A and B are shown apart, each in its own frame.
Chain A
Amino acid sequence: AQSVTQPDIHITVSEGASLELRCNYSYGATPYLFWYVQSPGQGLQLLLKYFSGDTLVQGIKGFEAEFKRSQSSFNLRKPSVHWSDAAEYFCAVGLTGNQFYFGTGTSLTVIP
């Protein structure tokens, strides 16, 4: 079945540590790929997106993501996490016909 998988439900990291959030998709063609962040009590905000070209994309707030076709993955990374990064992170894919599918989310806790 077609899906977007975020295998980590919850991650805890120390402030200043590096972060990697995993995302895998299972669609026939390479979809459009997105990462969104949801801060407590807020809607979702786009962090970054991938269409084509350079497989390493830069986003806002110091985040980056790397598309790996062979692994059907689009993992989100940040070299040094800040306490304000604590939030829920969603990976999403966009398919032709304006179909969008979201992963189940990864909740990030940042400890001092």
Chain B
Amino acid sequence: EAQVTQNPRYLITVTGKKLTVTCSQNMNHEYMSWYRQDPGLGLRQIYYSMNVEVTDKGDVPEGYKVSRKEKRNFPLILESPSPNQTSLYFCASSSGFSGNTIYFGEGSWLTVV
């Protein structure tokens, strides 16, 4: 079954404590990305990756890091989380063509206190 799996699904953390949200896809997709979803703002892209070792900033990259060492994995790193990073995060993947379907993970609820 085609899947994008992200963990953890729910996390409460404290300001400044580094955390990583993992993302893995089993569809051999070249393209992966991270979005955050906030009320009234829809989905905003944080970072995306066109392939292994190729990453680029999206619309709201500040405070986040990513890496793409393997094709299937695309972790999102919050080096020093702040309360304004409290949000619902989605990992997504597609086969690299702008017209192809994007597959989303189920989301990770992150609360920074």
Contact = CB atoms under 8 A, between A and B. Distances in A.
B19 to A, nearest CB: 20
A52 to B, nearest CB: 9
Interface in A68-112: 90, 92, 94-105
Nearest to B9: A41
B94 to A, nearest CB: 8
A102 to B, nearest CB: 4
B20 interface: no
Contacts of B94: 98
Interface residues of A, number: 28
Question: Which DSSP category, helix, strand, loop or mixed, fits chain B's interface?
Answer: strand
A41 B109 CA distance: 10
B104 A98 contact: no
Given A95-B98, A100-B98, A102-B43, 20 more contacts: A6-B42, A34-B101, A34-B102, A36-B104, A41-B107, A42-B106, A42-B107, A43-B90, A44-B104, A45-B104, A46-B101, A46-B102, A49-B99, A94-B98, A94-B99, A98-B94, A98-B97, A101-B45, A103-B42, A104-B40
